[in-house]
Amino acid sequence: MYKIHTKLTVAWQSPLLSGLILLTAAISPAALAHCPPLANVSSLHTQARQAFTETYGRSYWLQAGRLGTLAAELQALQFDGLNPADYHLDSIKQSAKYLATWGIILDCDAQIASHAYLLALADLRFGRARTLGVDPVWYAARLRPQAEPAELLKLAAVGETGIADAFAQARPELMHYRKLRLAYQKALHTLPATWPYMPAGPTLSQGDRDARVAILKLRLASEGYYSGTGPEDLSDPGFNEQLTVALKHFQRRHGLQIDGRAGPATLHELNVTPAERLAQIRSNLERLRWLPADTHQHLLLVNIAAATIAYYTNGERVWSGRAQVGQPERATPQLKSIITHVTVNPSWTVPTSIFIKDQLPHILKNPAYLQQHNIRVFDRQGQEQNTADVDWSQPWRVSLKQDPGPGNALGKVVLRFANPFAVYLHDTPSASLFNTPSRFYSSGCVRVEDALTLTRILLETNAPRRQQIFEQALASGESLNVHLARGVPLVMSYWTADADSDGTVYYHPDTYQDDKRVLGLLSHFAP
């Protein structure tokens, strides 16, 4: 509690009255001028808090148990990967105790409670990054979450029937968030404080005898992957079959090549500390909060970090496949949009950057390159050019177009959606690359494994009358746009950790090195 001169709100139980008597409800602006500074103040929070105070006054926090419930919900933010201390938790606990004892709440304490309440709801609904003015995800028109005072006040009003209800409603409805939050709660209680560090050295595999094998056994045993063959096994330097099985299990859960060998990539993941794993989960809970709170009957999800794609109907996964995504220097963007149509047997207008960086060296080295790849050259007015007449020292004066066909870079089908990055989902002739564990090969677009099957599923569920048109166009070899009767919401995000319903976490290498940036946003706390 703050020792300052301020007006009090007093409540007491009178033997003559059955209800709670409030002596005053309005908060004095003059008194608030003397209050300590609030943390993480933004225009969103300031406007929402002022409107909240004008609507409810101090009386909102005098209702029996409301401050205590707020304190409990703020404490539970730790399971969302947020720091309860960022929301004045100790001060609110003290205010709740004082109110329960004396029936008194100070103006400053009421302001702090309102601020913490609105700040927590905003961070859960919109993500800490967005409430700090950072917008890491691009949204198509009408899909952007409205981080506005009116939206926040609407959410806060749910608290009139129960503070806990407002917190529950603020959290993302996406099943991925619920699963990862439960997994994080489990990890907080089950992960050891530390585990053995694996020294560098040659790759270890079954049959090897090396002092590091004993360390590997202890490391895998620390998370329950390895139980040993007997009391003395954990100290034995022999690499046995059971250790191979355990290591494959570890590799499967960490997005690695599943070969049962402890090479450099596996050693790197083994040496990520428990604290770093918890931080990794926190960064992904934040990314999930960047997505709109709404749910959709049909939803296509691309996990860029895992290079995977899945289609959901009513929250159930009905199809999934592997993907190839952008190289680190040509990262696939995070976005939410709507797939509106598909292009069968597409042509490909080569982006200028790809033309100059990737294809021009081949053209200069091999005069037959364009013909071999079914590519034509056009000037900026759209007139086709004779390749022998093109001045390749000025490549920006022309554009390249690859005609439909077996070798087309987009394959047999493209799924199109609005975005400013000129990216899309598409088939690919480079199918062999789907068999590699790290599939960061593209220039930003998402190459989809078995894209034809996915397209047929989308048409069946969103444009059944146009399936025959699609199949006829596919067979003809002619290029055609087929529009969906209902657009399919698409989310492309970057999750380096996700979870099963049983709390098992699956980690993916942070290829884009983005986790640290997100954790920096989470740790931002400006008084």
- For 140-183, the pLDDT digits (tens) are 876 776 667 888 889 899 998 899 999 999 999 888 999 999 99
Do both 415 and 305 map to the same domain? yes
Residue 1 lies in a domain: no
**Position 308 confidence tier, pLDDT thresholds 50, 70, 90:** very high
40 or 63: which carries more pLDDT confidence?
Answer: 63
State the pLDDT confidence band at 18, using cuts at 50, 70 and 90. very low
Query: Are 113 and 155 in the same domain?
Result: yes
pLDDT digits (tens, 9 = 90+) for 277-306: 999 999 999 999 988 766 678 999 999 999
Amino acid identity, position 345? N
Residue 187 in any domain: the answer is no
- Residue 174's pLDDT is 87
Share of the chain above pLDDT 90, in %: 70
**pLDDT band at residue 138 using 50, 70 and 90 as cut-offs:** confident
Beta strands 425-426 and 316-326 are unpaired
Question: Looking at the structure, do residues 260 and 358 belong to the same domain, yes or no?
Answer: no
Strand blocks (E) in 247-374: 298-303, 308-313, 316-326, 335-344, 348-349
Same domain assignment for residues 363 and 498? yes
Q: Kindly state whether residues 426 and 298 are assigned to the same domain.
A: yes
Which of the listed residues 217, 238, 272 is the one where a domain comes to its end? 272
The stretch 492-506 carries a mean pLDDT of 94
User: Residues 501, 401: one domain?
Assistant: yes
Please tell me the distance from the alpha carbon of residue 49 to that of residue 32, in angstroms, as a whole number. 13
Q: What is the number of domains present in the chain? A: 3
| Domain C-terminal end among 216, 237, 272 | 272
pLDDT of 526 reads 43
Average pLDDT over the chain, rounded to whole? 88
Q: How far apart are CA 419 and CA 336, in angstroms?
A: 9
pTM: 0.87
- Domain of 363 in residue numbering reads as 294-507
Crossing angle (nearest 10°) for helices 149-157 and 163-170: 130
pLDDT of 34: 61
Angle at 355 between CA 351 and CA 356, to 5 degrees: 120
Alpha helices for 334-420 (secondary structure H): 352-354, 360-365, 369-372
Evaluate whether residue 181 is within a structural domain: no
Residue 352 forms part of a structural domain: yes
**Over residues 440-467, mean pLDDT:** 95
The C-alpha atoms of residue 106 and residue 104 are separated, in whole angstroms, by 7
* 505 bridge partner residues: 499
Torsion region of 307: left, alpha or beta (phi above 0 gives left; psi -120 to 50 gives alpha): left
Same domain, 159 and 64: yes
CA distance 282 to 523: 11
Residue 10: per-residue pLDDT? 38
